[in-house]
Amino acid sequence: MNPKQLACVILLMIIGAMTYTAQIIHKTVATTRAEAEDAETAAVTAENERSTAEIETAVFKANTEEVRRFLRSWLPSIEHVQTQQEAEQTIQLSLRERGISLVRSIKTESKQSAGNKLIPKSVITTLTIEEEFAKVLNWLGDIERRLPTARMKVVQITGGSSGTQLKMDVSFETPIFDLAAADADKKKVVPKPTPKVTKS
Amino acid sequence: MNEYLCHDFKSPRIDTSRRLPSSFRAIPVIFYVALIGCAYVMTMDYFNYKKALKQKVDAQERQTLSETQRDSFKNEKSDLESEATKAEQVAQWMEGARNIQPIAVKIARAVQTDTRITQVALERSEQVPANIALTIHLNGSKVSMELAAIEAALGQLLYRSASPQQTKNGDVVEYHSTLVRQAD
């Protein structure tokens, strides 16, 4: 092999090395571009998911606005009575302030509701009072005002021992709400038409 | 100057190596073309690499941001669901905890003085607490009119008497009905 041929061979080897290097670099760039495209696709998907989540949240927020406002308006009353003692004190205070002197019987008992996380406990109060017509009914209104979440189960009014007096047997349930425990129970809710409940 | 040497320089030289075949003469041309081509391709690849790298980083940042915002919206929705669940349950409870005193007052005010109510009983249904079973014992000469007046008075409180029944027991008329709250 003469020097000219040797030079040609060396040039061919350099050409081969350059082409090989260029190919390697090109493949690396192609891989990077493919990764960039994948990242772009993933970003677009994530943006779509974000957009969907935003719309869903906004729609849900709008659909449940009324019922959530209802809850917020009732929060002070719900938080007002948190223990059995508070319920009993409220009843005693109401009886005293309304001048109900003849309380024939009064009984309070605690009721546990294991299945109900929002109202795990409630206080059942059963009492019998005897007073004048106006005082009896005013006391009933007063206790419903002081314990607005209480549910009157039975109200029975009959004649009292004298002509001017009424005897009233009342049984009512005062719920002890546990909103914090209910937070743990996050369930899917289908928005329903909002009930318009007002204590009339 | 040596004469022999001058002659030697001027005499034609004989090639020590054979000439390359004509096809081999293209090799230097191919070398330069390959050099320029590779330089062009590598330069373009370099810029494309930088661009792709930037695009990838930007996309990843957008993805991260979007995922963070999506999670934030999902958390907000979860909180809203929890609040709505509680609100539904509270509303359900309050639906069955409407005040009873106005009903008692309406009944008392609806009857005339010559009619005597001996008993009024209001009892909530266990299954549907919004419904109230009403029992009134009354005696007098115009009991039917008084009961109509009571029903009308309760209508003002948006209560409708369902399945009203009257039974007469001597002078006393026993009236039973279920008060159903009508929509506001």
Indicate whether B126 belongs to any domain.
Answer: yes
* Contacting residues of B for A71, CB less than 8 Å apart: 83, 86-87, 90-91
Residue B165: exposed, middle, or buried by beta-carbon count in 10 A (0-12, 13-18, 19+)?
exposed
**pLDDT the model gives residue B16:** 65
Sequential DSSP letters for A102-161: -EEEEEEEEEE-TT-SSS-EEEEEEEEEEEEHHHHHHHHHHHHHHSTT-EEEEEEEEE-S
Q: Which of A50, A122, A142, A158 to mutate to test the interface with B (most CBs of B within 10 A)?
A: A50
pLDDT value of position A190: 45
Q: Are A129 and A136 in contact (CB under 8 A)?
A: yes
pLDDT at B121: 94
Q: Inform me whether the pLDDT recorded for A182 exceeds 70.
A: no
pLDDT of residue A40: 96
- Rounded to a whole number of angstroms, the distance from the CA of A3 to the nearest CA of chain B is 8
Helix (H) or strand (E) holding B169: strand B159-169
Distance CA B164, CA B176 (A): 6
Domain boundary among the residues B62, B95, B128 is at B95
Sequence letter at residue A112: Q
| pLDDT category of residue B2 using cuts at 50, 70 and 90 | low
Same domain, B29 and B82: yes
A71-117 per-position pLDDT tens digit: 999 999 888 888 889 999 999 999 998 888 888 889 999 998 888 88
Residue B102 pLDDT greater than 60, yes or no: yes
Indicate if B106 and B177 belong to the same structural domain.
yes
* pLDDT of res. B18: 67
CA distance B1 to chain A (A): 33
pLDDT at A185: 57
Same domain, B175 and B151: yes
List, for residues B103-152, the tens digit of each pLDDT value.
Answer: 999 998 888 878 888 899 999 998 899 999 999 998 877 788 888 999 99
State the total domains in chain B. Answer: 2
Mean pLDDT within A139-152 = 93
**Is A56 within 8 Å of B73 when comparing Cβ atoms?**
yes
What 3-state class would DSSP assign to A96? helix
Q: Which residue of B has its CA nearest to A198?
A: B98
Instruction: Mark whether B129 and B164 lie in a shared domain.
Output: yes
| Helix/strand/coil for A5 | helix
Burial of B2 (0-12, 13-18, 19+ CB in 10 A): exposed
* Rounded CA separation B91/A74 (Å): 9
Contacts of B163 (CB under 8 A, 6+ apart): B176, B177, B178
Asked, for residue B63, whether it belongs to a domain, the answer is yes
Domain assignment present for B65? yes
Q: How far does Cα A70 stand from its chain's mean position?
A: 12
Note whether B116 and B86 are same-domain residues.
Answer: no
Q: What are the pLDDT digits (tens) for A12-70? A: 999 999 999 999 999 999 999 999 999 999 999 999 999 999 999 999 999 999 999 99
Q: Looking at the partner chain, which of B34, B84, B104 has a beta carbon nearest the beta carbon of A67? A: B84
Non-local (6+) Cβ contacts of A105 within 8 A are A126, A127, A128
pLDDT for residue A188 is more than 50: no
Shared-domain flag, residues B78 and B57? yes
Q: What is the mean pLDDT of residues B39-57?
A: 95
Whether residue B107 is found in the same domain as residue B177 = yes
Residue B1, domain member (yes or no)? no
Strand partners, B17: none
Nearest CA in chain B to A178: B86
B76: closest CA of chain A, how far (Å): 7
Task: Answer whether residue B17 is part of any domain.
Answer: no
**Dihedral sign of CA atoms A60, A63, A66, A67 in order:** negative
Global confidence as pTM:
0.75
pLDDT number for residue B170 = 80
**Residue B119 and residue B48 share a domain:** no
Residues B170 and B113 occupy one common structural domain: yes
Which structural domain, as residue segments, surrounds residue B53?
A: 25-95
pLDDT of residue A200 exceeding 50: no
Residues B72 and B117 in one domain: no
Same domain? For B84 and B144 the reply is no
Bigger pLDDT: B161 vs B13: B161
Location of structure tokens 């989540």: A53
* Alpha carbon distance, N-terminus to C-terminus of chain B: 135
Query: How would residue A133 be classed by pLDDT, with cut points 50, 70 and 90?
Result: confident
Q: How confident is the model at residue B12 (pLDDT cuts 50, 70, 90)?
A: low
Question: What is the overall mean pLDDT for chain B?
Answer: 87
